A and B are shown apart, each in its own frame.
Chain A
Amino acid sequence: MKSRLLLTLVILAVLNGLVSLWVGQKAYGWMPVQASAEAVLVDNLFSFLTTLGTFIFLGVVGVLVYAVLFQRVGKYDVGDGPPIEGNVRLEVVWTAIPLVLVLWIAAYSFRIYDQMGILGPMDHRMGMAVAAVVVDQPIEVRSRQWAWEFHYPEHHVTSTELHLPVNQRAKLLLTSEDVLHGFYIPAFRIKQDIIPGRDIDFEFTPTREGRYRLRDSDYSGTYFAANQSHVVVESPEAYQQWLEAAAQQPPTVAENPAFQEFSRSVENPISLGWPSVQPAPAPVVNYASSEANSYE
Chain B
Amino acid sequence: MSNASIETPLAPPGQPQPGAPDNWRRFFTFSTDHKVIGIQYLVTAFVFFLIGGLLAMVMRGELITPAADLVDRTVYNALFTMHGTIMLFLWTFPMLNGLANYLVPLMIGAPDMAFPRLNAAAFWLVPVFGFILMASFLVPGGPSQSGWWAYPPVSLQNPTGHLINGQSLWLLAVALSGISSIMGAVNFVTTIVRMRAPGMGWFKMPAFVWTVMSAQIIQLFGLPALTAGAVMLLFDLTVGTHFFDPAGGGDPVLYQHFFWFYSHPAVYVIILPIFGVFSEVFPVYARKPLFGYKVVAVSSVVITVLSGMVWVHHMFASGTPGWMRMLFMFSTMLISVPTGIKVFAWVATVWGGKLRLDTPMLFALGGLVMFLFAGITGIMLAAVPFDIHVNNTYFIVGHFHYVIYGATVMGAYAAIYHWFPKMTGRMYYEGLGKLHFALTFIGANLNFFPMHPLGLQGMPRRVASYDPEFAFWNVLASLGGFLLGVSTLPFILNMISSWVQGKKAPDNPWRAIGLEWLVSSPPPVENFAEIPVVVSGPYGYGTDNPLVANSSGEAHTHKRNES
Bound CA span A45–B456, Å: 13
Main secondary structure of the interface of A (DSSP, over half): mixed
Per-residue CB proximity of B293-315 to A under 8 Å, as 1/0? 11100000000000000000000
Task: Please judge, given known A-B contacts A68-B355, A91-B295, A103-B333, whether A217 and B73 are in contact too, CB under 8 Å.
Answer: no
**Residues in B whose Cβ lies below 8 Å from that of A182:** 317, 392, 460
CB nearest neighbor in A for B465: A225
Across the interface, which residues of A come within 8 angstroms of B345, CB to CB? 91
Chain B residue at minimal CB-CB distance from A54:
B376
**Given A82-B288, A193-B319, A71 and B246 touching (CB < 8 A)?**
no
Closest to B384 in A: A113
A64-B368 in contact (CB<8A): yes
Kindly identify which residue among A56, A71, A102, A269 contacts B353, using a CB–CB cutoff of 8 Å: A71
How would residues 195 to 207 of chain A score, 1 for a CB under 8 Å from any chain B CB and 0 otherwise?
1111010000000
Q: Do B354 and A80 touch across chains, with their CB atoms under 8 A apart? A: yes
Known: A57-B372, A223-B73, A274-B141. Contact between A81 and B157, CB under 8 A? no
Nearest CB of A to B334, in Å: 7
Contacts of A57 in B (CB 8 A): 372-373, 376
Q: Are A216 and B460 in contact (CB under 8 A)?
A: yes
Which chain B residues (138-166) contact chain A, with CB distance < 8 Å? 141-142, 145-147, 151, 153-154, 157, 159-160
Are B70's CB and A269's CB within 8 A? yes
Number of interface residues of B (CB under 8 A): 101
Q: Is A135 an interface residue (CB 8 A)?
A: no
Q: Does A131 contact B (CB under 8 A)?
A: no
Q: Is the CB of B453 within 8 A of A73?
A: no
Q: Considering the chains assembled together, what is the distance between the CA atoms of A191 and B287 in angstroms?
A: 50
A95 adjacent to chain B (CB < 8 Å):
yes
CB-defined contacts of A292 to chain B, threshold 8 Å: none
Among A45, A53, A77, A268, residue most surrounded by chain B Cβ atoms (within 10 Å)? A268
Q: Which residue of A lies closest to B291 (CB)?
A: A86
Binds B, one of A115-123, A155-163, A244-252: A115-123
Contact in complex: A83, B543 (CB < 8 Å): yes
Q: Is A78 an interface residue (CB 8 A)?
A: yes
B457 sits at the interface (CB 8 A): yes
Which of B353, B354, B383 touches A109 (beta carbons < 8 Å)? B383
A168 to chain B, nearest CB (A): 21
For residue A118, which residues in chain B have a CB less than 8 angstroms away from its CB?
388
Residue B191 CB within 8 A of the other chain: no
A5: interface (CB < 8 Å): no
Cα-based distance from A144 to B78 in the complex (angstroms): 21
Q: Are A179 and B154 in contact (CB under 8 A)?
A: yes
Q: Is the CB of B465 within 8 A of A226?
A: yes
Among residues of B, the one whose C-beta sits closest to the C-beta of A270 is B71
**What mask results when residues 114 to 155 of chain A are scored 1 for a CB within 8 Å of chain B, else 0?**
001011001110000000000000000000000000000000
Alpha-carbon distance A193/B312, docked complex (angstroms): 14
CA distance A105 to B379 in the complex (A): 9
In the complex, chain B residues 231-289 whose Cβ is within 8 Å of any chain A Cβ: 246-247, 252-253, 286-289
Instruction: Kindly list chain B residues whose C-beta atoms are within 8 Å of the C-beta of A217.
Output: 317, 391-393, 460
Cβ distance A94 to chain B, nearest Cβ, rounded Å: 4
Chain A residues touching B, range: 35 or more
User: Which residue of chain B lies nearest to A216 when distances are taken between CB atoms in the complex?
Assistant: B460
Cβ of B297 to closest chain A Cβ, rounded Å: 12
Stretch touching chain A among B211-219, B321-329, B413-421: B321-329
Given A73-B356, A81-B352, A95-B341; A60-B317 close (CB under 8 Å): no
List B contacts of A38 (CB < 8 A).
Answer: 385
B372 touches A60 (CB 8 A): yes
Contact of A189 among B78, B160, B341, B389 (CB under 8 A): B389
Interface membership of A276, Cβ < 8 A: yes
Q: Which residues of A contact B69 (CB under 8 A)?
A: 268-269
Nearest-neighbor residue (CB-CB) of B153 within chain A:
A179
Q: Closest CB of chain A to B280's CB: distance in Å?
A: 16
Q: Which single member of A78, A109, A271 contacts B511 (CB below 8 Å)?
A: A78
A124 to B380, CA, bound (A): 22
* A90–B326 CA distance with the chains assembled, in angstroms: 31
Partner of B317, one of A56, A192, A223, A276: A192
Contact B329 A42 (CB under 8 A): no
Cβ of B541 within 8 Å of any chain A Cβ, yes or no, is yes
Q: Once bound together, how far apart are the Cα atoms of A187 and B456, in whole Å? A: 10
Beyond A79-B354, A275-B141, whether A31 also contacts B456 by CB under 8 A is yes
* In the assembled complex, B6 has its CB within 8 A of some CB on chain A: no
CA distance in complex: A192, B391 (Å): 9
For residue A265, give the distance in angstroms from its CB to the closest CB of chain B. Answer: 10
Q: How far is the CB of A110 from chain B (nearest CB, A)?
A: 6
Assembly CA distance A226 to B465 (angstroms):
7
Residue of A49, A71, A103 near B354 (CB, 8 A) is: A71
| Interface members, chain A 30-66 (any B CB < 8 Å) | 30-32, 38, 41-42, 45-46, 49-50, 53, 56-57, 60-61, 63-64
State whether A85 and B391 are in contact (beta carbons under 8 Å apart), knowing that A67-B350, A98-B340 are contacts in the complex. no
A112 and B541 in contact (CB under 8 A), knowing A60-B372, A82-B288? no
Contact bitstring B52-89, A, C-beta under 8 A = 1, else 0: 00000010000000001111111101100000000000
- Is A30 touching B456 in the complex (CB atoms < 8 A)? yes
In the complex, B463 has a CB within 8 A of chain A: yes
Answer yes or no: B24 CB below 8 A from chain A CBs.
no
Q: Does A1 lie at the interface of the complex (its beta carbon under 8 Å from any beta carbon of B)?
A: no
Closest to B330 in A: A106
Q: Which residue of A lies closest to B541 (CB)?
A: A80
For the complex of A and B, 4 pairs with smallest distance between CB atoms: A186-B458, A83-B542, A225-B463, A197-B246
30 residue pairs of the A-B complex, CB under 8 angstroms, read A31-B457, A42-B388, A63-B347, A72-B354, A73-B355, A77-B354, A83-B542, A85-B289, A90-B348, A91-B341, A98-B340, A103-B333, A105-B383, A178-B153, A182-B317, A182-B392, A189-B388, A192-B317, A195-B252, A195-B319, A218-B317, A221-B157, A225-B68, A226-B465, A268-B75, A270-B58, A274-B72, A275-B74, A275-B160, A277-B159
